[in-house]
Each structure stands twice: as C-alpha cells, then as structure tokens.
Structure 1
C-alpha cells in the first residue's frame, strides 16, 4: 500500500489510558504526540489516568485527563468494575470532544483503552465522522486477556476467543472468576462497535497482523509502523572484555525469566536480571547463583546493555515489538530471542543474535554456550550495531510513517463507499 507525506497541518486527537509513561504503550503515545506537535500539528491528548506528563503542556498540547484509575492501580476491583466494563464518563467526554472537529482535517488515534477507558468508547468511535486509527500495542481487540497467553502454564494460547473451549478454560493469571469477567467484557466490547471502528490499524510487527487479522473485519486496512527507538550511535564496541548475558524487564513467567535462570544453570553461567517482578523472590530462592539488580533508570539500563555480552529475551508470549530487543541491537549487543515473539523479526539467527525454541531451557542453554565464545560474540556485536544503524528506527522515521497513515485515512474516509460501509 503506497502512502505519501504531506506538510498540511492536521488536528490529531490521541486517545490513551494513561497520560504518563508507565510502559511502552504510553511512552510511544506520548513521544508521538510530542513529535507531531513539534511538526506543527494541533494535538490533543485524551486519557483516563493522570498525572499528565509535563512535557505535553509545555509543547502546547491540549491535555484532557479524566482523573480516573486503572485496573492495575485500583484498590478495589469490585468498585472499579463498573468503569472497567463501561466507562460512561469517558465516552461522554470523548463524544463531546470529537463533535468539535472537522473530519476533513482531523484524525483520532487510539493507543489504548483496555486498562481504564473500557469498551464504552466504541459507540463514540463508530459514530464519529473523524477517521479513526488504532495502534496495536497488544491484542485486546481479539483476545479477552489481551495476549493470547495461557498464564497457568506460561505458554501461548491457541484457542479461538469466546469459543466454548476458550470460555471453559481458565487462562487468567488470578482466577477463573476473573477470566469470566474478561469473557463478559470481551463480548460487550464486540457489541460496542469498537472493533468495527478500527478501519485503519497500525501494527508494529508482522507477527501482530498474522495474529490479529482473523478476528478483525476483512475491510481493515493494515500499515506497519515501527515504534521509535531511543538510542544514540555510539559506534562499534571497543575491543574490551565482554560482560555478562543479561535479562532486562519484568521478572515474570510470561517474560520467560525462569527459562533464562534454568538455562544459565545448565550452561554453567550466571544469569543477570535487570528489573523486578512477581517471580523475583521465587527465582532468588531457586537460583541463588543468579544476580538480581532490580530496576535501574534508563541511562543505567543502556549502559548495562552496552557492556553486556548479549541480551536474552526469552518471552513465551507473542509480544508486539519489544523495544528492549531493538535498544540492545542499537547498542551493539547481540540478542538471544525466543522464536515465538515478534522480537525475532529484528534478529537474524546466527548474524546479530540467535533464536531458541520458546520455553525450552536446553535450547536457550545451547545459545548461551555459543555466545560464550568471545570471537563469536564480537562478530555478532559488530553485526548488531551495523545492521541497526544502517536503517535506524528514529522518531522522525516513526512520525513520517504515522503522518502517512493519517493522510491515507483522511483520503479513504472521504470515499462515499467507505462512509456507507463504516456507518451501515
């Protein structure tokens, strides 16, 4: 699909659960908003949960924060349940906001809704004449738990969403009652028009489209726009001793933390974890030889990845486009990645890193042993750096892609046949 860039100013209404950075999804939404405003577009940032990143207001971005909570921050799931199922105040406020915009030069860009905004925004997005774009940071439009992931067995789930097999099986991380709540909300979401409003979908990896396409309308238009990577071209690594092989991120089963710990033991190496999470205490007890550094600030993480022999990304679910993988490659650090997640798309097996069989400690151990060879590690380090910086995923490249999608969406929405199809 051919898309072109134009310099005309647009109104961009960015919709997200959070107005502050609490993860990759919010980071991309906020950095994108700042970049678009810097290019002269009129940007509004609409979110349920604050506080708002102060850079938004400083960039003359209109910020609307509803002062609500989310599913992770709430102190009472029972009291939060109404908002989680159907956040009526958010829908009314979004409807009032969109009514003031001309569909000829305005776009709604949805980055997140599942943690706080709820399916209630579906009818609003379905009814508006302003073109709607979704970025798929996860899989909530298709899967009740958002990840096609079976938490009890720490493996990808291949059941059809809302099928009898899906409904009967407990894939939730907490309880079957919680799973049934998710099933109910997913059914509500399907009837809300939210899925149908996503006429234009931005995916951040090829894997995402493969996973999502069977569950979205056939008329859905897909564009792949990579997330920006915050990195500097520091040059190839100096000829110095190589460090440890590290894990960076949430120490939890879906991230494959236990797979790395066991693989390192099998390979006779030390597993180094940068991050924290619910599995840390158990792993510290089971693998006393491992090192746990806890959370570090972004600059410290970059320095640790730069010094590492390799990064291990052992995630056992699909992921979207893991930024940690790309940041590691940008630093000249090869990546050992599980073959199930989208991170593999950035890694050429045997060139700038290695693939291993997802969830298999022995397969990962073999990869760890291969990277223990200094010459092999340095060869892959040079390739990691050279391949990334030959075509870097900069913010400008990301914004070029986003603007092009907006232009295409505006042109597509003007078609009479499109208007009839969307609002039928």
Structure 2
C-alpha cells in the first residue's frame, strides 16, 4: 500500500489571477484526493500596496517573517516535502532556507523564467530578450526597468537574483526543480541550474471536462490575457485580412482591452466576450473549430492549450519556445511563425479547406490530453518526483 505523505504547498498569489494559481490549487486537491495531507502556506501581492519600495526590495531578498513562520509550521506539521510554486516577491528564497533548516526536501515548480529574468518573460520591447540569461547581475534588466517599468524596483529584483546566485540558494537549497516543458528545462540549464536537479512535469486539467461535440460551430477562439506578449497584434492583423471568412471570439481582459474593443467594432466577425468563468471558457472551446494561440514570448506551459486539448479542440499556435513542442503540427493543430500575420492567415485558410483533417485533429488533441495532461498521469509523476527528493535527502527510497 502506498504511504501517505504530508506535503507543505506554498504559493505567493499575484494581484491578477492566473494559471499558476490554478495549478497550485489543482495539485493540492489532487494530493488530498489521493489521501495525502496538504498544509498550505500562502501570501498575496495585494499587501504590496502598503509596502514601500525599499521594504519590498528587502522582503524579496529575504522575508524574515516568512522564514520564521515556515519553520514553525514545519515543526508543528512535520511535512515530508515542501513544494513551492511562486515565492516572488513576498515569500522570498528565505523559504528554502527554512525548509532545509528543518531537513525537509524542497521542490520548486518553475512556472516562469523569474530565476533568470527580472520580468520573468524573456520579453522586452515587444520582442524576445535573453540579455540576462547568463548574467550574475542582470544589469540590462535594471537599465530597461524590466520589473514594473521601474529601474529602482528592477534593481531590487536584480539584487535578489544576484545575491542568491552567489549564495548558491538555487543549487544548494532546492532538491528538485520542476520545469513544465523540455524547452524550459534547456533554458534553465543554460542559465546555470544543475542539469541533474531539473525534471519535466507538465501541468494538468482536472476535473476532466470531456470532449466536445464532433459537429462544432464555425468560429475560432482566443483565450488569454490581452497583452502584447500574447500576440494580439498578430491575431487582429490576421483577422483584418480574413474578414468574416470565419468569426473570431476573444475571451480575456488586460492592458490591450481598448484595442480589442475597437477591433471588435471595426472588424466584421470579431467579437470580444471579456473575462469568462472557467466553465464558460471550456464550453466555448468545445464549440470552437480551433483555438488560436499567437503568443510571441517563450511561455511556460499555457493552461489554455492543454484545456483545449482536454475538450478535443485543435490549436493553431505560434512556433516559439515550449508552444512549438506542445503542438504536434498536422496532428493536434498547426504551427505558424510567431508574429507573422501572413503565415497565420495561411494556416487558418488551410484549416477552413480541410474539415476532415480537422476532425481527426480533434481526436488527436483529446488523445494528447489523456496521455500527457490527465490528473492520473500527473499524480504518478508528482509522487515519483517527491520520492526522488526524499531519497536524495534521506538516503531512503519512498514506495
């Protein structure tokens, strides 16, 4: 019989909800559903509003209160594993030191590129940027004010990254890093993380939403934050050429909302639905002919894509970073060159001309979900990672 674990799950919530929050919640539910005890420790970025820039800079380097709070929790609950999702900026790397002081192995899920890039995106001035990838001190990120468009705040992030690189916090205090894709793993190793400590485990969708109907409606769907790195200019540029050959429904909100609103008024067939609940998003995916994913940055592992796969919706996505690996062109969707309006138009045109092949893509997309992104498979992967961490920490094998 499988031993049951006590797992400390920790996460720093952003002010704007996102995929990382969903994964944190889903993994907690998954562990509990399989009989393990989950102890949650969370902080929320809403508290930053009452924090000076100087105090925030100190906190993101080392949060003394979080360090002591976590040691007290660990002493009381005695978890077997401490699994961290986001620790930036309030929990801070002090959490890893607290866990190690109590001899609890640390797992860190790398949802973005924060350990290598001040803004976590490898994206600046509407283009991919790797200036700080191998830098001990990310000077470029400070010069360009990559964090919150502030050189002062970017200097604080740069200081945090540099101090903990010099101290060896990532290499010495974290037992295993979880990268979401093979592409991300390669980037983190290139940036200096130990290759033997980085494993790949994708996110998952639960509960299983079930496949959509084979007879779908004639519309394309975009779901995501309305921001430049998500490729909104490419998306709208393509539909200005496609006109009303296939309607486009846009779901989401963000800084480019006014631009999307204007486009929905000016372009025939473009409809902006705003932010929807998850159940409404999944229903829209089930009924869509395909999802468009025009991102122009490296992404992590977009929940949007695997949610589309879970309902059997193929994805026409940009061939960049991990997205290029996620979509099997001709099977679960199609690729187009990131930022290339004409190539996106070309791929959409192909989809419209090949309904039989698109129907087969729907089946392939659903199969891809069942094989790689279901909760059952993810649970096995997660438990194996915990076993590896415990084995390395204590010299014993968990079974």
Normalising TM by the smaller chain, what interval?
A: 0.7 to 0.9
- Judged with a 3 Å threshold, the aligned counterparts in structure 2 of structure 1 residues 329 and 218 are, in CA distance, closer, same or farther, namely closer
Offset, 1:345: 2.3
Of the candidates 19, 22, 25, which is equivalent to residue 27 of structure 1? 22
Cα displacement (A) at 1:251: 0.6
The answer to whether the 8 Å contact 1:315/1:341 transfers is no
For 1:147 and 1:19, the matched residues in 2 are separated by 15
In the superposition, the TM-score normalised over structure 1's length comes to 0.82
Residues 1:140 and 2:114 are matched in the alignment? yes
Matches within 5 A, 1:41-190: 41-49=36-44, 69-71=46-48, 74=49, 78=53, 81=56, 82-100=58-76, 106-150=80-124, 152-160=125-133, 161=135, 162-172=137-147, 174-190=149-165
**Do structure 1's residue 237 and structure 2's residue 213 form an aligned pair?**
yes
Are 1:155 and 1:254, in contact at CA under 8 Å, matched by a contact in 2?
no
Counterpart Cα distance in 2 of 1:214 and 1:138: 15
Contact 1:201 1:220 in 2 (8 A): no
Bigger mean CA offset, 249-258 vs 194-203: 194-203
Tell me, in whole angstroms, the C-alpha distance in 1 between the residues paired with 2:292 and 2:154. Answer: 31
Q: Does 1:330 align with 2:323?
A: no
In 2, Cα distance between equivalents of 1:393 and 1:110: 20
Aligned counterpart, 1:385: 366
Q: How many aligned residue pairs are there?
A: 386
From the superposition, tell whether residues 276 and 267 of structure 1 become closer, same or farther in structure 2 (CA, over 3 Å). same
Distance 1:192 1:29, change over 3 A: farther
Cross-structure match for 1:272: 249
- Distance change (3 Å), C-alpha of 1:233 and 1:177: closer
CA contact under 8 A between 1:126 and 1:194: conserved in structure 2? no
Any idea what SS the aligned residue of 2:316 has? strand
| CA-CA distance at 1:106 after TM superposition | 1.0
Among 300, 303, 310, which residue is 2:283 paired with?
Answer: 303
Gapped runs of 5+ residues in structure 2? none
* TM-fit CA distance, 1:217: 4.0
Seen in structure 2, the aligned counterparts of structure 1 residues 157 and 266 have a Cα distance that, compared at 3 Å, is: farther
Stretches of structure 1 that go unaligned for 5 or more consecutive residues are 1-5, 50-67, 417-424
**1:286-337 alpha-carbon deviations (Å, 9 max, x no partner):** 5621321101111111111111111011111111111111111221211011
CA distance in 1, matches of 2:164, 2:46: 20
**In the alignment, which residue of structure 1 is the partner of 2:184?**
208
Distance 1:204 1:77, change over 3 A: same
* 1:257–1:356 distance in 2 versus 1, CA, 3 Å: same
TM value normalised by structure 2: 0.86
